[in-house]
């Protein structure tokens, strides 16, 4: 074994194999529509094709790439297909992928300002840009009392917000003494499940997350919220946090932020606004009325990795009082001490989230914003909204179908009037075909189909074809019945 023996990939090999991987991805982008959107493999099928044991000796890179094609691809559900209408989108884009590639190549870990000043400062800068781009309140700016940080997901952002609310309500003692079983948080029955998970994690308990009833449009009823808070206070409990949603996952319902914000202010509760998908629409001034009252929020979150073409993960989170967040999560062991931190002149993002370590994620966000410009981003958002509105119109004009919820932006909730079994059959048949991928929810107890127009490359003909296929499926079922 000589000193110089090395198993590493040399820079020249990296160049060669890197070109091959880039070419593979470019080809994948070109042929993505040729694959079944929802993978057709059965449970265990992918594992069965993999060798039982890891290789004792290294293998040539070409073998790896070949196996991605041969073994992995059949097990992929194609989130980057323009025929992906399921859940919420999770969009990659050329500039996003390449920004992320640079992050991998630089390989910096940005836990502290000093461990890569550019990683921290570019992030703060781009998050400040987004405050303006989305018409968010100035208190979220780093130059004000607040600031933004990139989190991995909206789940983590909601957890951080809940923790900060918990701490503020207990005078920053529950992170020291633990929770006392009396803290209460609030969301609507339509709020994303990550809030339940956050209440479980934060020691508040899911039974102390009050799920407030919604109105006929699935939006939180502020009066019900106010009543519940007062009841809890009378019962000697400690309300601490409310989550309002701009565009719920189930039906894209819009909670009335202004009314909820007034209640939070009156009771001194932390107001978190979750705009995970729909926040991207706020790039366009004409949609900002959907979050009127956002200036009352203590924190706000949206995911550029959903609808803004920044590939996963990239979740943008702001607070209006950064001290509250830092006081909630701060730790400073000796081995992380350094001059810049002691000076107080810098941001150390390790105190802004759950993790200590962090990737250079602002690179991909910066690349996407600069590649598209505000004009390009707005163009594609408007196009998606227009296509969803057209689709909603087709549903409205077909007697066999009905809309199940308002369509404020790009998510259409609809159903065949024939009942749950018919809708399930339409969805399962289409998904099995591989030609498109739809998912469902339940609204008012009824199975409801969801068509979300948001994949980067979805165009008019993809949406038109989806509607054609849905109608054909309904025709087939009628013939059988």
C-alpha closest to that of 468 among 23, 20, 83, 49: 83
Interface residue with a second copy among 83, 100, 298, 385 (CB under 8 A) is 100
Residues that contact a second copy, how many (by CB under 8 A): 170
Single out the residue of 399, 393, 364 nearest to residue 451, CA to CA.
393
Closer of 124 and 301 to a second copy (Cβ): 124
Asked if 87 is part of the footprint of a second copy (rule: CB under 8 A), the reply reads: yes
Q: Contacts with a second copy in 391-420 (CB under 8 A)?
A: none
Q: Could you tell me if 17 and 9 are in contact, meaning their C-beta atoms sit under 8 angstroms apart?
A: yes
**450 forms part of the interface with a second copy (CB under 8 A):** yes
Q: Which stretch binds a second copy (CB under 8 A): 55-63, 220-228, 257-265, 473-481?
A: 55-63
Q: In the set 140, 186, 307, 312, which binds a second copy (CB under 8 A)?
A: 312
Helix (H) or strand (E) holding 464: helix 460-480
Q: Helices marked H in 68-169 — which ranges?
A: 94-106, 117-133, 154-169
How far is residue 304's CA from residue 1's CA, in Å, rounded to a whole number?
49
Q: How many residues does the chain have?
A: 481
Question: Is residue 236 a contact point for a second copy (CB under 8 A)?
Answer: no
Q: Is 342 in the site for a second copy (CB under 8 A)?
A: no
Of residues 60 and 481, the one with the C-beta less far from a second copy: 60
Separation between Cα atoms, residue 198 and residue 163, nearest integer Å: 9
Residue 478 interacts with a second copy (CB under 8 A): yes or no: no
Q: Beta 401-403 vs 238-245: how paired, if at all?
A: unpaired
Rounded least distance, CB 242 to a second copy, Å = 17
Measured from the CB atom, is 81 or 261 closer to a second copy? Answer: 81
Cβ–Cβ < 8 Å for 309, 79? no
Regarding 336 and contact with a second copy (CB under 8 A), the answer is yes
- What is the dihedral angle through the alpha carbons of 398, 404, 406, 409, rounded to the nearest 10 degrees? -80
The rounded distance, in Å, linking the Cα atoms of 315 and 123 is 12
**Which residue among 73, 227, 268, 446 contacts a second copy (CB under 8 A)?**
73
Minimum CB distance to a second copy smaller for 296 or for 443: 443
Is residue 376 at the binding interface for a second copy, with CB under 8 A as the rule?
yes
Q: What would the x/- binding string for a second copy be over residues 190 to 219, using CB under 8 A? A: --xxx-xx--xxxxxxxxx-----------
Minimum distance, C-beta of residue 17 to a second copy, in the bound complex (Å): 6
Asked if 135 touches a second copy (CB under 8 A), the answer is: no
CB 199 within 8 A of CB 193: no
Contacting residue, 227, 265, 370, 446, with a second copy by CB under 8 A: 370
- Nearer residue to a second copy within complex by CB, 179 or 226: 179
Contact 44, 73 (CB under 8 A): no
Of 33, 62, 70, 94, the one binding a second copy by CB under 8 A: 94
Shortest gap between Cβ of 304 and a second copy (angstroms)?
13
Nearest to 365 by CA among 33, 95, 65, 169: 95
Among 72, 223, 285, 421, binds a second copy (CB under 8 A): 72
CA distances from 127 to 59, 83, 100, 193, 462 (A): 42, 31, 17, 26, 33
Out of 34, 107, 235, 289, point to the residue binding a second copy (CB under 8 A).
107
Q: How would you classify residue 252: left for phi > 0, otherwise alpha for psi between -120 and 50, otherwise beta? A: left
Q: How far is the CB of 470 from a second copy (least distance, A)?
A: 19
Smallest gap, in angstroms, from Cβ of residue 64 to a second copy? 6
User: Closest separation between CB of residue 103 and a second copy, Å?
Assistant: 9
Residue 153 touching a second copy (CB under 8 A)? yes
Position among 179, 224, 226, 258 found at the interface with a second copy (CB under 8 A): 179
155 is a site residue for a second copy (CB under 8 A):
yes
Nearer to a second copy (CB atom), residue 196 or residue 262: 196
Q: How far is the CB of 38 from a second copy (least distance, A)?
A: 7
Answer for the pair 209, 232: CB distance below 8 angstroms, yes or no. no
Q: Which residue has the tokens 């007034």?
A: 262
Residue 318 token pair: 């702001």
Spatial distance between the Cα atoms of 432 and 425, rounded to a whole number of angstroms: 10
Instruction: In whole angstroms, give the CA distance from residue 71 to residue 49.
Output: 7
* Residue 313 beta carbon to a second copy: minimum distance, rounded to whole angstroms: 6
How far is it, in rounded angstroms, from Cα 292 to Cα 399? 35
Taking CB under 8 A as the rule, does residue 145 contact a second copy? Answer: no
The 3-state DSSP class for residue 270 equals strand
């Amino acid at each position: 074994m000589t000193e110089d023996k090395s198993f590493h990939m040399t820079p020249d090999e990296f160049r060669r194999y890197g070109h091959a991987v880039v070419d593979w991805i470019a080809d994948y982008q070109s042929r993505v529509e040729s694959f079944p959107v929802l993978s057709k493999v059965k449970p265990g099928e992918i594992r069965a094709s993999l060798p039982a044991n890891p290789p004792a000796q290294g293998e040539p890179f070409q073998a790896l790439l070949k196996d991605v094609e041969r073994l992995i691809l059949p097990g992929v559900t194609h989130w980057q297909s323009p025929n992906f209408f399921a859940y919420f989108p999770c969009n990659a884009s050329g500039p996003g992928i390449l920004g992320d590639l640079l992050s991998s190549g630089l390989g910096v870990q940005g836990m502290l300002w000093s461990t890569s000043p550019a990683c921290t400062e570019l992030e703060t800068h781009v998050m400040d840009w987004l405050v303006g781009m989305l018409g968010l309140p100035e208190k979220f700016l780093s130059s004000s009392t607040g600031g933004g940080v990139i989190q991995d997901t909206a789940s983590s952002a909601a957890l951080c917000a809940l923790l900060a609310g918990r701490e503020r309500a207990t005078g920053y003692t529950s992170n020291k003494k633990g929770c006392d079983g009396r803290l209460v948080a609030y969301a609507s029955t339509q709020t994303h499940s990550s809030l339940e998970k956050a209440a479980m994690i934060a020691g508040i308990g899911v039974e102390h997350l009050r799920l407030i009833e919604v109105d006929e449009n699935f939006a939180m009823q502020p009066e019900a919220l106010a009543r519940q808070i007062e009841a809890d206070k009378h019962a000697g409990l400690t309300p601490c946090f409310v989550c309002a949603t701009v565009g719920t996952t189930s039906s894209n319902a819009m909670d009335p932020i202004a009314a909820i914000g007034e209640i939070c202010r009156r009771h001194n509760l932390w107001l978190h606004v979750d705009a995970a998908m729909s926040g991207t629409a706020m790039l366009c001034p004409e949609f900002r009325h959907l979050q009127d009252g956002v200036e009352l929020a203590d924190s706000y979150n949206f995911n550029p990795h959903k609808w803004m073409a920044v590939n996963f993960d990239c979740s943008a989170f702001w607070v209006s009082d950064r001290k509250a967040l830092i006081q909630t999560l701060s730790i400073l062991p000796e081995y992380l001490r350094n001059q810049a931190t002691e000076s107080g002149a810098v941001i150390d993002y390790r105190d802004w989230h759950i993790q200590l370590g962090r990737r250079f994620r602002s690179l991909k966000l910066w690349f996407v914003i600069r590649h598209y410009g505000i004009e390009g981003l707005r163009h594609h958002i408007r196009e998606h909204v227009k296509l969803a509105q057209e689709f909603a119109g087709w549903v409205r004009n077909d007697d066999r179908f009905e809309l199940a919820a308002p369509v404020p932006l790009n998510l259409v909730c609809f159903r065949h009037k024939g009942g749950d079994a018919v809708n399930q059959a339409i969805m399962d048949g289409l998904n099995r075909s591989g030609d498109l991928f739809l998912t469902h929810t339940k609204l008012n107890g009824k199975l409801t189909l969801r068509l979300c127009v948001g994949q980067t490359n979805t165009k008019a003909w993809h949406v038109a074809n989806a509607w054609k296929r849905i109608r054909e499926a309904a025709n087939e079922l009628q013939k059988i019945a």
